[in-house]
Amino acid sequence: MHTPEKTILLTGATGYVGGRLLPTLLEHGHAVRALVRRPERAHLPAGVEVAGGDVIQDRGLDAALDGVDVAYYLVHSMGRGSGTTAQFAASDRRGAANFGRAAQAAGVRRVIYLGGLDAGREHTSEHLQSRHETAEVLREHVDELVYVRAAMILGRGSASFEMLSHLVRRLPAMLTPKWVDTRSQPVAIRDVVATLNTLAELEHVPREVELGGADVLTYREMMQRFAAVSGRRSPTIVTVPVLSPRLSSYWVSLFTPVESGLVRPLVDGMSAETVVRVPPPPEINPHPLGFDEAVREALAEAAA
C-alpha cells in the first residue's frame, strides 16, 4: 500500500543519485527539502526548499529535519578529496551518527540509506565495509532504517559506468587483474531511482533491499557487451594474476576521466562478488532493466 505525499529531506541532492532522485520525488507530489553545505551554490529545481547544513560538522541538522516524514541519506566521503581510507571511514561514521541522532530527536519515521552490495563482510573491500558501517551507525539511532544495497550503477555520469565506457572506447587491448572475472549484477540508474522513490511511499518496507539488474555478468562480459551495444570492436583482454589493485588503479586513472580518488575504491570493490542473494519483495524493482538496455539508455542520454 502506498501512503500519501510526504515531506522529505534529501541529502546528496547535488550528487549523482540524489540529482536523479530529486525530480522523481517532485513528480510524485512530495514536498522536498534539500540539505546542502553551500546553499548559495546550489542550483535546484523550483519548488525545492533549500536548507543549509553539514552532516560531518553537525550543522543545521535539527532545522533541516524538523517536520520531515522520510529522509534520504546519500552522503559518502570515501574516495573524494585528500585523506586516508581510515580518515574517510571515520568521517562517514561521524556524519551518520550526527544525522541519526538529529533524525531521532526530530521524530523522523523513516531514513533510507543507499550503500553497496557485496559478498559478505569477510570478502568486502574497505570502501564497501565503510558503507556497511555507515548503515550500522544509522540503525543505532533510527528505528526504521531502510538499507538499500545496490550493485554497480549503470547510467551516464555514474563513476562505475564512465570507467567501463572509457576503458572500452580507449583500449583495444588491456592487461587486467583477476577481478575482471568476478561476477556482478549491475543495475540501471532508472531502477535505483524508482526503488528509492517507492521506499518512501510504501507503508511497510523491509530493513534491507538488495538491488541488482536483470543480468549477472563478469566485468569481462560487461566490457564485451558494452562494445557490442555501442558498435565498437570488443577489446582483447588478458588476465594477469600479479596485477595488484593499486597498479590497476593507476592504469584505470590514465585512461578514464573518473576522479582519481574514486578509482581505487571502485577497483577494490570489484574484487567482491556483488550479486543479489535475497531478492526484494515483488513491489520493489519488479522488472529491472537488463545490461544492454541500461547501456543503450545511458548512451542515448549522452548523445542527446
Q: Where are the domains of the chain?
A: 7-151+189-211+276-287
Q: What is the structure's pLDDT at 248?
A: 63
> Which of 86 and 14 is assigned the larger pLDDT?
14
- At 25, the pLDDT band (50, 70, 90 cuts) reads very high
Q: What is the structure's pLDDT at 95?
A: 95
φ, ψ for residue 128 (rounded to 5)?
A: -70, -35
Provide the sign of the torsion angle of the four alpha carbons 161, 163, 166, 169, taken in this order. negative
Provide the sign of the torsion angle of the four alpha carbons 202, 204, 208, 213, taken in this order. negative
Mean pLDDT throughout 65-87?
Answer: 79
- At 207, the pLDDT band (50, 70, 90 cuts) reads very high
Q: Architecture of 7-151+189-211+276-287 per CATH?
A: 3-Layer(aba) Sandwich (3.40)
For the chain, what percent of residues have pLDDT higher than 70? Answer: 82
* Cell numbers describing residue 166: 572509457
Distance separating alpha carbons of residues 302 and 249, to the nearest angstrom: 25
Q: What is the structure's pLDDT at 239?
A: 75
Buried b (16+ CB within 10 A) or exposed e, 35-68: bbeeeeebebeeebeebebbbeebebbeebbbeb
Q: How does the average pLDDT of the chain come out, rounded? A: 87
Q: What is the structure's pLDDT at 65?
A: 98
Ranges of beta strands (E only) in the chain are 7-11, 31-36, 49-52, 70-73, 110-116, 145-150, 153-154, 173-176, 183-184, 187-188, 208-211, 217-218, 236-239
pLDDT higher than 70, residue 125? no
Q: What is the structure's pLDDT at 260?
A: 62
Which residues have CB under 8 Å from 46's CB, separation 6+?
none
Distance separating alpha carbons of residues 27 and 147, to the nearest angstrom: 24
Which residues have CB under 8 Å from 25's CB, separation 6+?
8, 10, 32, 197, 200
Q: What is the structure's pLDDT at 198?
A: 96
Q: What is the structure's pLDDT at 261?
A: 65
pLDDT tens profile 227-273: 999 998 888 777 766 555 565 665 566 666 666 666 666 666 677 78
pLDDT higher than 70, residue 56? yes
pLDDT higher than 60, residue 209? yes
> Which of 266 and 275 is assigned the larger pLDDT?
275
φ, ψ for residue 153 (rounded to 5)?
A: -95, 130
- At 117, the pLDDT band (50, 70, 90 cuts) reads confident
pLDDT higher than 80, residue 217? yes
pLDDT higher than 70, residue 81? no
Q: What is the structure's pLDDT at 302?
A: 83
User: What burial class does residue 9 get, using C-beta atoms within 10 Å of its C-beta: 0-12 exposed, 13-18 middle, 19+ buried?
Assistant: buried
Distance separating alpha carbons of residues 47 and 4, to the nearest angstrom: 18
pLDDT tens profile 145-155: 999 999 999 99
pTM here is 0.90
Determine which of 77-91, 122-136, 168-182, 195-209 has the lowest per-residue pLDDT on average: 77-91
pLDDT tens profile 171-203: 777 767 777 888 999 999 999 999 999 999 999
Q: What is the structure's pLDDT at 256?
A: 67
Determine which of 57-66, 88-97, 158-167 has the lowest per-residue pLDDT on average: 158-167
Q: What is the structure's pLDDT at 98?
A: 97
